[in-house]
Structure 1
Amino acid sequence: MISSAPSAPLSQPRPPEVVELAQALIRTRQTILPKRLAEPGPDAAQTQLILSAAADAPDHHELLPWRFVQVTASARARLGQAFAAALLERDAQALPEQIEQAREKAFRAPLLWLAVVRLRDDDADIEPHERIVSAGCAIQNMLLMAHALGFGAALTSGKALASRSLRALFDLAPDEQALCFINVGTVIKAKPPRARPAVARYLSVL
């Protein structure tokens, strides 16, 4: 027999302190550029917490269309070489100091991941933009967890992400796209909070 008793609501009001904590985390998170991040980075347990936060992102059809590649200390030199090669792909006349600046970007943040999204596979129902949105949600979860743990973080990108050298280094498949690097570390120099846009600037009513 099917019970006629009303089912419990799927959503329950959260205690005010939970709402306030979520609001505080979201509103106080800042982008801290890699040059302002230093050791110590997250330890192994904290790193797992940050990565685990990504698993709670929306994922239509549960495709897991994104992944993260951690760039260890021993791999930073190879990443620096890929950055230098990417610059030379775009500008064969790049000066030695410009090449060195490109290479140096690989050595800044203590913890570094490359975010990769799989744009297409056997499931044609999930369009590339949905997969990118899912990846973005996963990344935001990671940023908020890093912030909750007391670390600074930033997303960095640039033309090097589409270069042959970087795609080869990270062994990207033809249907994969490098979205950005996620940089995490201890904040050595904060910055004033930026003004957030008012809701009226990005909300309309149909």
Structure 2
Amino acid sequence: MNPIAVPPSTVPSPDAPSWADTLIHSRRTTLPKRLCGPGPDGAQRNAILAAAAAAPDHGQLLPWRFIEVPDTQRERLASAFASALLARDPAASAEELEQAREKAHRSPWLLLAVCRVRGGDPEVPAHERVLSAGAAIQNMLLLTAAMGLGSGLTSGKALVSDALRGLFALHADEDALCFINIGHVREARKPRPRPPVDAYFSRLGDGTPATA
């Protein structure tokens, strides 16, 4: 039997596993307050976005998308954050409202990750769509780290607010997952300990309780 020919583009270099392992374990979350400009340039932004396309996607639904918030639109986002806070807490103070507004201006490059969790192919449930979105986001974060840039994900109660959904014109079958913040690292975060493998890995039959 003839061996299966593997396209050259899919053959990794001998040092690829070591390089990938180093990249994965060196990635760190950098909160927006620890990021500074400039953000990634045009070519870097295109490459980061293209990395998302390599994520697993059952049925090729493309259930996720990313919406950039350019500097010219940050005030609109700030107003949406303030409106969302007032909807949750009509007694919010001026200081609290200003803190909510300020969050829109921290990140050099800001994206909203959106996932279509309802509708479409009923054979692809919501959790698979969110997993696909998470894989796409992780691809973006890893490439960002490889470029020497910092990144972090932020969320919050405003994501489910009418103000934010209206601003981004989200469809009824979509949910906002998180914001992706990317820029240069102004202040590095101390590395956090990673959980050991045995904290999240087991083998079926090794003491796993049987269920009826």
| SS of match in other structure, 2:15 | helix
Structure 1 residues 126-155: Cα deviation after superposition (integer angstroms, max 9, x where no partner): 000000000000000000011111110000
**Whole-angstrom CA distance in 2 between matches of 1:198 and 1:16:** 26
Match of 2:196 in 1: 198
After TM superposition, list the pairs within 5 Å mapping 1:106-145 onto structure 2. 106-145=104-143
The residue type paired with residue 176 of structure 2 is A
TM-score (norm 2): 0.92
1:103 is matched with which residue: 98, 101, 104?
Answer: 101
The residue type paired with residue 83 of structure 1 is F
After TM superposition, list the pairs within 5 Å mapping 1:23-102 onto structure 2. 23-102=21-100
TM-score (norm 1): 0.95
Structure 1 residues 150-184: Cα deviation after superposition (integer angstroms, max 9, x where no partner): 11000000000000000000000111000000000
**Whole-angstrom CA distance in 1 between matches of 2:88 and 2:199:** 37
| SS of match in other structure, 2:180 | strand
1:184 is matched with which residue: 182, 185, 193?
Answer: 182
**Whole-angstrom CA distance in 2 between matches of 1:41 and 1:86:** 27
1:15 Cα deviation after fit: 3.5
| SS of match in other structure, 1:126 | coil
1:16 Cα deviation after fit: 3.6
The residue type paired with residue 5 of structure 1 is N
1:192 Cα deviation after fit: 1.5
1:13 Cα deviation after fit: 7.2
1:14 Cα deviation after fit: 3.8
Structure 1 residues 99-131: Cα deviation after superposition (integer angstroms, max 9, x where no partner): 000000000010000000001223110000000
**Whole-angstrom CA distance in 2 between matches of 1:88 and 1:31:** 29
1:6 Cα deviation after fit: 4.1
| SS of match in other structure, 1:186 | strand
The residue type paired with residue 112 of structure 2 is L
Q: Note closer, same or farther for the CA distance 1:47–1:13 as it changes in structure 2 (3 Å cut).
A: closer
Give the gaps of 5 or more residues in structure 1: none
1:9 Cα deviation after fit: 6.4
Q: Percent identity?
A: 55
Instruction: Give the CA RMSD over aligned residues.
Output: 1.5
Q: Note closer, same or farther for the CA distance 1:13–1:198 as it changes in structure 2 (3 Å cut).
A: farther
**Whole-angstrom CA distance in 1 between matches of 2:160 and 2:105:** 20
Structure 1 residues 1-29: Cα deviation after superposition (integer angstroms, max 9, x where no partner): xxx5343469x874442111101110010
| SS of match in other structure, 2:187 | coil
Detail structure 1 runs of 4+ shifted over 3 Å in the superposition. 12-16
